[in-house]
């Protein structure tokens, strides 16, 4: 007796739901307390922004009874940043939408949002470390650990970083410590590190996205900070100034029978306080 088996049948392929594209690395700085966002440039002409600063006066003078006060001059300085434009475009044919799985237009828009946040995050981290003395700006605090101190530890790395700020060190004033994932195991092994799962829900609870705290400061992992380096940043030390926030546009090409989708952003980033960032470098040997 002959049987009709699956070998004689046309068996269609079965596909699961489309998986969203995944990107390596989370957004850690953009949108966090280290950044001040400003929209006042929207609609204003010009592409170069000047950031004026008042210079600090010296300490008060000690006076004798009849000594006259001697006026001193106030000082100012400024640094510049130039508006940049970044963007991405995709073109999707009608046939690809009709015969393919998933919604390519919706996925493109989703990815545009992720890419915009990642690009700004990377620019902010680069700007935090930049030497801008040639542009009329300044330099963040910098230090390197002693020879042989190749691991991130409280005593060898965090304590020297804290000392850079002098008497301006107050944990609540700091947005976070930003580490490359290569230093993740070092942080976990340090007795001063408190894992996020042990911080509870009180005032000292873990900040969203952080892996815990060290010395009262939230700790974040980001591979946009190079391996062997780390950043300690105060609140509000970076400026993100939008000329125009992310814009997504779509146009129809009737001859090619396709849709073009683009995204563009116009913005500038700037370190607003040189004394609010410390860049640490771990010894290589």
Q: Express each pLDDT in 132-159 by its tens digit.
A: 887 777 899 999 999 999 999 999 999 9
Task: Report which of residues 234 and 82 the model is more confident about.
Answer: 234
Local structure of residue 17 (DSSP, 8 states): P
* Residue corresponding to tokens 């073109």: 91
Q: Report whether pLDDT(4) > 60.
A: no
Residue 21: strand, helix, or coil: coil
The domain spans of the chain are 146-238+272-281
Instruction: State pLDDT tens for residues 55-82.
Output: 778 888 888 888 888 898 888 776 677 8
The predicted pLDDT at position 121 comes to 92
**Residue 8's pLDDT is what?**
46
Percent of the chain with pLDDT over 70: 85
Looking at residue 281, what is its pLDDT?
A: 95
DSSP 131-173: --GGGT----EEEEPPTT--S--IIIIIHHHHHHTGGG--GGG
pTM: 0.81
CB 233 within 8 A of CB 33: no
- Is pLDDT at 7 greater than 90 in this prediction? no
pLDDT average, residue stretch 76-102: 85
Per-residue pLDDT at 206 exceeds 70: no
Distance CA 117, CA 240 (A): 12
pLDDT tens digits, 245-283 = 888 999 999 999 999 999 999 888 988 888 999 999 999
| pLDDT value for 36 | 83
Which distant-in-sequence residues (6+ apart) come within 8 Å of 130 by Cβ?
A: 137, 271
Q: At 210, is the pLDDT very low, low, confident or very high (cuts 50, 70, 90)? A: confident
pLDDT digit string (tens) for 13-55?
555 455 555 555 667 888 888 888 877 777 777 777 776 667 7
Instruction: Return the pLDDT at 224.
Output: 92
pLDDT band at 185 (very low <50, low <70, confident <90, very high): very high
For residues 79-104, give the mean pLDDT.
86
The string of DSSP letters for 29-75 reads STTSTTEEEE-TTTT---SEEEEEEEPPPPPPPP--TTPPP------
pLDDT score, position 203: 55
Q: How far apart are CA 272 and CA 138, in angstroms?
A: 10
Residue 1: band (very low, low, confident or very high) from pLDDT cuts 50, 70, 90:
very low
Determine the pLDDT at residue 52.
66
146-238+272-281: in CATH 3.30.2320.40:
yes
């Amino acid at each position: 007796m002959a049987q009709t088996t699956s070998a004689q049948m046309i068996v269609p392929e079965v596909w699961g739901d489309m998986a969203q594209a995944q990107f390596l690395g989370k957004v850690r700085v953009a949108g966090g307390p280290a950044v001040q966002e400003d929209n006042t440039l929207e609609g204003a002409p010009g592409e170069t922004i000047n950031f004026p600063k008042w210079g600090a006066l010296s300490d008060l003078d000690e006076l004798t009874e009849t000594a006259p006060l001697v006026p001193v001059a106030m000082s100012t300085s400024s640094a510049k940043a130039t508006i940049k434009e970044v963007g991405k475009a995709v073109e999707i044919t009608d046939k690809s939408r009709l015969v393919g799985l998933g919604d390519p237009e919706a996925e493109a828009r989703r990815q545009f949002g992720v890419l915009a946040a990642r690009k700004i995050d990377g620019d902010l981290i680069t700007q935090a470390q930049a030497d801008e003395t040639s542009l009329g700006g300044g330099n963040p605090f910098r230090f390197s650990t002693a020879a042989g101190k190749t691991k991130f530890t409280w005593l060898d790395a965090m304590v020297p970083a804290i000392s850079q700020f002098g008497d301006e060190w107050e944990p609540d004033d700091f947005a976070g410590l930003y580490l490359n994932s290569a230093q993740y195991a070092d942080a976990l092994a340090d007795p001063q590190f408190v894992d996020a799962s042990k911080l509870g829900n009180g005032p000292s609870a873990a900040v969203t996205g952080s892996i815990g705290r060290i010395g009262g400061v939230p700790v974040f992992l980001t591979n946009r900070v190079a391996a062997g380096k780390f950043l300690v940043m105060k609140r509000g030390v970076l400026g993100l100034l939008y000329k125009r926030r992310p814009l997504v546009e779509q146009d129809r090409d009737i001859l090619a029978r396709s849709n073009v989708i683009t995204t563009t952003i116009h913005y500038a980033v700037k370190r607003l306080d040189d004394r609010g960032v410390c860049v640490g470098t771990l010894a290589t040997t």
